[in-house]
């Protein structure tokens, strides 16, 4: 899986910002505590028309999820 890495300040400032009436930005940390943004093809098309289009210029990078916590 690949996503776009953003700095923590970007993730914090843009978390929850709507790009249209029903789509919002959400960031996820990987195993190395890097913040990632994942966009579908539809999201990419929609975000290209917004002030957040610069996020599409970020290169795709491999994502390694954090391990799930053990179930008690």
- Tens of pLDDT along the chain (72 residues) come to 999 999 999 999 999 999 988 889 999 999 999 999 999 999 999 999 999 999 999 999 999 999 988 888
Looking at residue 65, the DSSP 8-state letter turns out to be B
* Rounded distance between C-alpha atoms, residue 36 and residue 27, angstroms: 5
* Rounded distance between C-alpha atoms, residue 6 and residue 70, angstroms: 28
Q: Residue 72 has what pLDDT?
A: 83
- Beta-bridged to residue 72, according to DSSP, are none
pTM attached to this predicted model: 0.89
Q: Residue 20 has what pLDDT?
A: 86
Q: How crowded is residue 18: how many other Cβ atoms within 10 Å of its Cβ?
A: 10
Q: Residue 57 has what pLDDT?
A: 97
Q: How crowded is residue 13: how many other Cβ atoms within 10 Å of its Cβ?
A: 12
Q: Residue 13 has what pLDDT?
A: 97
């Amino acid at each position: 899986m690949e996503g776009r890495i953003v700095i923590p300040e970007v993730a914090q400032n843009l978390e929850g910002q709507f790009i249209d009436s029903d789509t919002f930005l959400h960031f996820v940390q990987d195993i190395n505590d890097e913040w990632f943004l994942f966009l579908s093809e539809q999201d990419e098309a929609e975000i290209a028309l917004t002030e957040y289009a610069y996020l599409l210029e970020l290169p795709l990078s491999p994502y390694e999820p954090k391990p799930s916590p053990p179930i008690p």
